[in-house]
Amino acid sequence: MDFINFIGFLAAAGTTVAFIPQVIRSVKTKSTKDISLVMYSLFCIGISLWIIYGIFLNSQPIILANSITLLLAITVLITKFRYG
Amino acid sequence: MDFINFIGFLAAAGTTVAFIPQVIRSVKTKSTKDISLVMYSLFCIGISLWIIYGIFLNSQPIILANSITLLLAITVLITKFRYG
């Protein structure tokens, strides 16, 4: 893996892993009132479009990173629906 | 612009614009306790790496979309530091 791809890999890992502490916080505190429902709805739509884009480009990294991000973002969205 | 690039453009717009309602909510309510500080810290680092990646690839769309996302995510981070 060359240096540029390594930066891209780190970038994808960072913006994906970032959602794990939010999932943990929302599940643990059962409190999500400060989280924007519109943000996570738009974000899930955007991430789904990234996955479709990755499928068109046949890019495994785009598909993989965004699939994990989508799962995490959907989890936050579910806690938002559940705890308000 | 072909169809695949159009999907990519929509995807980038979605995951960028998504943060606007969160910024509005946090600024308006002055309440950010349910938002994870670790999430937004990691996310800002990840997005900064995407911008560096875009500079290496000389990709205007990656640089532009992620620069706007970074500004919005930093704004959420500032409200988090301010309102706790």
Domains and CATH numbers, chain B: 3-83 (1.20.1280.290)
Quick one: DSSP state of residue A59?
A: -
- Are A15 and B53 a contacting pair at CB < 8 A? no
The nearest CA of chain B is from the CA of A37 a distance in Å of 8
The reported pTM is 0.94
Instruction: Say which amino acid occupies A32.
Output: T
Which of the four pLDDT bands, split at 50, 70 and 90, describes residue B61? confident
Question: What span, in angstroms and rounded, lies between the C-alpha atoms of A81 and A7?
Answer: 35
Which of the four pLDDT bands, split at 50, 70 and 90, describes residue A35? very high
Which of the four pLDDT bands, split at 50, 70 and 90, describes residue A28? very high
Q: Which of B18, B31, B34 sits opposite A46 (nearest CB)?
A: B18
ipTM summary value: 0.92
Residues of A in contact with B9 (CB under 8 A): none
Question: What span, in angstroms and rounded, lies between the C-alpha atoms of B67 and B50?
Answer: 9
What token pair was written down for A65? 């990173």
Question: What span, in angstroms and rounded, lies between the C-alpha atoms of A75 and A23?
Answer: 7
Quote the pLDDT of residue A16.
97
- Are B52 and A7 a contacting pair at CB < 8 A? yes
